[in-house]
Chain A
Amino acid sequence: MQSRHWLSGLALLLLAAPAATDPLTANTSLERLPARAMSAELEISSFDADAYHSEGPSQRIPGDLRFVTAHLRVSWAPSARLAYGAEIPYRIVEYAPALGSGELRNRGVAGAAVFVDLSHDFLQGDATLRVGYLRTAKVDDPVLSISDGADRLSVTYAIAAGEDVRPWTGYLRAGFVGARARLPEESQYGQGWIQIAAGRRIAPRIDLLLAASSSIATSAREEGSFLSKRTSRGNDAGLMLQWFVTEDVRMRLSATQTFGLVERLDGLRVVLSSRLLFR
């Protein structure tokens, strides 16, 4: 039985042709699921961009530029070591320039992703390797659009603290995202990133964590837009509240601010997510 699960996992990996999802937000769940459990997660991220920091001068955006992305993520764990999942991102891009009385708005399903999680015990917690493939929506013009049109392959390794270390909690994640360029002029895309969150219980069922991440990429691709061919790097940091409503329902609310950016949008990201476990 176990070997059949491994085989189907391998088949999914093979389907994931080389061509990857954006780095996870602080909220994204990536930990071992109990055997024969299903997880459903809805994550809504709102990113308000104020400026773009380039290699040269920074450019402040004259208006309200907002990217709202909703991720619906469902996964099933046939065993405690393996889970399969799928994800649908839906994006709304809104730009209301200070000078105009209207706004530019694009919305739609930004693609579809599949992923496989392979988990094992790690010290007093667990570790999960996720391999994912995102097939993006095809667009003509990757500016202020729902998708930049480049399919992505991602590999993420996450170590999550277990219950043994309570009241402390947290995780450490690192990943790589690769994409084949839509146009030869855009060049191939690679992104490496690292993310950490650490905190402790502050009230019954409620944790407060500090979250931070750092990434570097071969070009600037953010929120469904292709922004620059130049090397992009940046960091963000903020706070995340985690509330275990019940044993199987977890909500997270985070707010992170970008800093130390090169070829990157500068702004505040607020993410609200809810994960339900069905055993």
Chain B
Amino acid sequence: MRRTALAIVLALFTASAQAVTITRGPYLGRPDDRSVAIAWRTDVPADSRVDYALDGSEEWTTLQSTDALTEHRVTLDGLVPGALYRYRVFSGGVALAPESRFRSPRDESQQEFTFAVIGDTNRRFIPAVIAERLVEAEPDFAIHTGDVVYPAGSDDLYDDEYFRPFAPFLRQAAVLPTFGNHDTVTERGAPLLRNFVLPSSGTSAGSRFYSFRHGHALFVSVDIETSSFGAGSLQYGWLRRQLEESEATWKFVYVHQPPYSSDRSNAFVRMILGPLFERYGVDIVFSGNAHLYERTHPICDFGVPRCKGVVYITEGGGGARFSNFRRQKFTAFVKNRHGYTLVSIAGERLRLTSHDLDGSVVDSLELKR
């Protein structure tokens, strides 16, 4: 009798466990400079478990939460900086996805790495090809210059337009977006905040701007779509402090609308933030919005002493229909192309390459500090 009851309980448990299906992910997030978040979604509420181990090691660590949820987020702290890890995700006792790998955030001593830049991701099949290329290139992470989901950044489109096309890449690297105008049409951008795990390094928990450090580089995401960025605003003061106080060798800023573009420049990003970029030695400002790839000559517009020149890159070639543009004097290279940008840093040298969908290099830039 007892055996029968146990068998029934086990059968029920197995049945319920088997019913859990992953509907999104796993994908990575970056809550801070030392941690990695692993997130996934299941069709029914279930527990969350991540097993992870250093690549090449069989010493697995398990993190588990028994809370029954459909949105699962597990944060892995205490990681060895810059190390390659393997991981598996489970809910209801079932392994939900094949084993995947990620690289943990690098510390200041690790000065060789690659990151990717994508933007204005649209029309599924193009992001899917970009994802394949990024999987091959294995950047540590990608920044997204905004307009993640067209046309209105609504929650119901995130799976079809973003998570599925990019799935192979999202399993191995975090994507860190800034708000685009399309992302903020629905609920002022709340879906984007729900769907990404981003550093909470702004001025408050609700800040829509953030920064993070990777190796000896500083990355700053500026929100011009829903936050004030003019003089006297919280964001302006915060951005100034971030740039002024940073001792990083490389400084990168990303903001959706380009201050210098052969398509349409944002006059106020240029007027308000341009002097900050020049004054505090930002190396490259990445933007999207214009559906093309563009690189400017190094720019010093505002009479800042010892300005070393800021390069403005527009990476908006993630799949949206091409822009009409007219080449400007500040333009070093501009092309309507779908693709992505890779930035490889080795100590005081930087090499940026712009790629089309077959991975070919269409433009490159080398900088030395």
Q: Which residues of A contact B332 (CB under 8 A)?
A: none
State the interface size on chain B (CB cutoff 8 A): 35
Q: Which residue of A62, A99, A185 contacts B264 across the interface (Cβ within 8 Å)? A: A185
Instruction: Decide: A100 near B272, CB < 8 A? Known: A57-B228, A140-B329, A183-B324.
Output: no
Q: Once bound together, how far apart are the Cα atoms of A227 and B269, in whole Å?
A: 11
User: Which stretch, A101-109, A165-173, A206-214, A241-249, touches the partner chain B?
Assistant: A101-109
| Chain B contacts for A96, CB-based, 8 A | 303
> Are A102 and B303 in contact (CB-based, < 8 A)?
yes
B-side residues, CB < 8 A to A, are: 225-233, 236, 263-265, 267-268, 270-272, 274-276, 278-279, 301-305, 323-326, 328-330
B265 engages A99 (CB within 8 Å)? no
Q: Mark A78-97, 1 if CB is under 8 A from B, else 0.
A: 00000000000000000111
> B228 and A103: CB pair below 8 A?
no
Residue of A nearest to B280 (CB): A99
Contacts beyond the supplied A61-B271, A182-B326: 12 A-B pairs with Cβ under 8 Å: A54-B268, A57-B227, A58-B230, A59-B233, A97-B275, A97-B303, A99-B304, A100-B275, A101-B303, A141-B328, A144-B267, A144-B271
Residue from B227, B230, B330 whose CB has the most chain A CB atoms within 10 Å: B230
Give bound CA distance, A63 to B302, whole Å. 11
Identify the interface centre among A59, A60, A104, A229: most chain B CB within 10 Å of its CB: A59
Q: Is the CB of A62 within 8 A of B303?
A: no
B324 near A185 with CB under 8 A, answer yes
Residues of chain B within 8 A (CB-CB) of A160 are none
Please tell me if the beta carbons of A229 and B264 are within 8 angstroms of each other in the complex: yes
Contact of A62 (CB < 8 Å), options: B226, B236, B324: B236
Contact (Cβ within 8 A) A100 B278: yes
List residues of chain A with CB within 8 A of the CB of B304: 99-102
Q: Smallest distance from the beta carbon of B271 to chain A beta carbons, Å?
A: 6
Closest approach, in angstroms, between the C-beta of B152 and any C-beta of chain A? Answer: 16
Query: A65 an interface residue at 8 Å Cβ cutoff?
Result: yes
Task: Give every chain B residue within 8 A of A259 (Cβ-Cβ).
Answer: none
Nearest chain B CB to A186 CB, angstrom units: 7
**Which residue of chain A has the shortest Cβ distance to B227 in the bound complex?**
A57
Interface residues contributed by chain A, number (CB under 8 Å): 36
In this assembly, does A204 line the interface, its C-beta being within 8 Å of a C-beta of chain B?
no
Known contacts A100-B302, A102-B304, A140 near B226 by CB under 8 Å: no
CA distance A56 to B16 in the complex (A): 48
Q: Which of A57, A104, A182 has a CB less than 8 Å from the CB of B302?
A: A104
Measured CB to CB, the nearest residue on chain A to B184 is A56
Closest 5 CB pairs of A and B: A102-B303, A59-B230, A62-B231, A97-B275, A60-B230
- B139 CB, min distance to chain A CBs, angstroms: 30
Is the Cβ of B230 less than 8 Å from the Cβ of A63? no
Q: Are B263 and A185 in contact (CB under 8 A)?
A: yes
Q: A97-B275, A100-B302 are in contact. Are A186 and B268 (CB under 8 A)?
A: no
| Contact of A143 with B275 in the complex, beta carbons under 8 Å | no
In the complex, what's the smallest C-beta–C-beta distance from B154 to chain A, in angstroms? 19
Partner of B228 from A58, A104, A141 at Cβ < 8 Å: A58
Contacts of B233 in A (CB 8 A): 57, 59-60
Asked whether A231 is an interface residue with its Cβ less than 8 Å from the other chain, the reply is no
Provide the residues of chain B in CB contact with A60, threshold 8 Å. 230-233
Contacts of A98 in B (CB 8 A): 231, 275
**Distance in Å: Cβ of B242 to nearest Cβ of chain A:** 15
Bound-complex Cα distance A225 to B305 (A):
26
* Cα separation A99 to B302 with both chains bound (whole Å): 9
Given A226-B267, A227-B267, check contact A141 B275 (CB 8 Å).
no
A 32-76 binary contact with B (CB < 8 Å = 1; else 0)? 000000000000000000011010111111110100000000000
Whether B230 contacts A51 by the Cβ 8 Å rule is: yes
Among A61, A143, A144, residue most surrounded by chain B Cβ atoms (within 10 Å):
A143
Inter-chain contacts of B265 with A (CB < 8 A): 141, 143
Residues of A within 8 A of B268 (CB): 52, 54, 59, 61, 227
Chain A residues numbered 132-147 whose CB sits less than 8 Å from any CB in chain B: 140-141, 143-144
Q: How far is the CA of A95 from the CA of B226 in the complex (A)?
A: 25
Query: Using Cβ atoms and an 8 Å threshold, which residues of chain B touch A51?
Result: 230
* Residues of B close to A99: CB separation below 8 A: 275-276, 279, 302, 304
- Cβ–Cβ < 8 Å partners of A59 in chain B: 228-230, 233, 268, 272
Measured in the bound complex, the distance between the Cα atoms of B324 and A185 in whole Å is: 6
Q: In the docked arrangement, what's the CA distance between A184 and B264, Å?
A: 10
Q: How far is the CA of A173 from the CA of B278 in the complex (A)?
A: 45
